[in-house]
Amino acid sequence: MGAAPLTNGPVTVKISVVGAGNVGATTAQRIAEADLADVVLVDIIDGVPQGKALDLVQSAPVMGHSRAVLGTSNYEDTAGSDLVVITAGLPRKPGMTRDDLLRANADIVSGVVENVMRHSPDPILLVVSNPLDVMTELAFQRSELPAHRVLGMAGVLDSARFRAFIAMELHVAMEDVHAMVLGGHGDDMVPLPRFSTVAGIPITELIDEGTIERLVDRTRRGGGEIVSLLKTGSAFYAPSAAVYQMVEAIVRDKNRVLPAAARCEGQYGLDDQYVGVPVKLGRRGVVEIIELALTDAELAALHASAAHVAEQVAALAR
């Protein structure tokens, strides 16, 4: 039985989340409980998406929403999706880098994209699977969609971690802190202290250089720190929150400026490559890539991060 069309106000929207693990299921929960859209939750392990979807539906009366959540192992239920969030893939384990996941998750993501595109002619693909930037490039190649309709979630998450660490250091409200992290979603990501503020005040005026470097380093290791603590899993509350913020910006056509893995076509001196940059997000996906006036050092760091992503993409092609 196919899924019913989703509605969000006057515009018909259908959102599918592929991968019913912690990130995917929590993303589905956030979307439904915010009354943003109905959700189709997909996983190849029969029973898991159905069970989690039923659990979410049974929480709806308490949480006060009437959004439907359909769990399925059949991609036919995703037919006509306007937006597909891809979280499917193997999670990191202690001692494992995002790069270690490269080939295993490439096979998984390729299969997901093939199945999604068979049933949805023109979706927006939001990739969450790691290694993030490489999997986003792979989804772009396999889907043959326009670049603005394929993007990856990384910068919002990395920036959220940086924001949290800044707020904790200064003992200020989290909501007053804004930050920008560019580059690949890995150890060579590029947090930008000059573009990170507390109520509009640059953190360079509030925190000494040594402390900023410590917070930058912790941000780069943010995912690994959680993996080492959990021992049998990886982060999912912050990643799903980051996905939700991007989904909301797209579905509600908010034109929010957020960092995301987008395909640069000359911006920042990068050609035909996915990497984390500030973008304007709206109903068509990436409406615009925002070019910041970076210093030579910041631009060099971004290029170094992008070069690592390019190496991974090349390795995958071999």
Q: Render pLDDT for 82-110 as a digit per residue (tens, 0 to 9).
A: 999 999 998 766 676 656 778 889 999 99
Chain centroid, CA 79 distance in Å: 22
pLDDT in tens, 116-143: 999 999 999 999 999 999 999 999 999 9
By residue count, the chain amounts to 318
Residue 230's pLDDT band (cuts 50, 70, 90): very high
263 SS3 class: strand
What is d(CA 142, CA 140) in angstroms, rounded to the nearest whole number?
A: 6
Structural domains in the chain, sorted by start: 7-152 (3.40.50.720), 155-317 (3.90.110.10)
What is d(CA 144, CA 262) in angstroms, rounded to the nearest whole number?
A: 15
What is d(CA 92, CA 105) in angstroms, rounded to the nearest whole number?
A: 11
Chain centroid, CA 109 distance in Å: 14
**Residue 206 backbone dihedrals phi, psi, to 5 degrees:** -115, -20
Neighbours of 214 (CB within 10 A): 14
| Active-site residue identified among 65, 148, 185, 308 | 185
Torsion over CA: 263, 225, 301, 307 (sign)? negative
Question: Are the beta carbons of 20 and 41 closer than 8 angstroms?
Answer: yes
Side-chain-side CA neighbours of 195 within 13 Å: the count stands at 18
Which whole number is the average pLDDT over 291-302? 98
pTM: 0.93
pLDDT in tens, 10-57: 445 789 999 999 999 999 999 999 999 989 999 999 999 999 999 999
Question: Are the beta carbons of 248 and 241 closer than 8 angstroms?
Answer: no
In the chain, pLDDT over 70 holds for what percent of residues? 94
Query: What pLDDT, on a 0 to 100 scale, did the predictor assign at position 7?
Result: 44
H or E stretch at 305? helix 296-317
Query: What pLDDT, on a 0 to 100 scale, did the predictor assign at position 1?
Result: 36
pLDDT in tens, 50-81: 999 999 999 999 999 999 999 999 999 999 99
Residue 277 has pLDDT above 70, yes or no: yes
Q: Is 185 a catalytic residue?
A: yes
Query: What pLDDT, on a 0 to 100 scale, did the predictor assign at position 164?
Result: 98
Question: Are the beta carbons of 32 and 43 closer than 8 angstroms?
Answer: no
Who's near 233: CB < 8 A, 6+ residues apart?
22, 91, 227
What is d(CA 21, CA 138) in angstroms, rounded to the nearest whole number?
A: 21
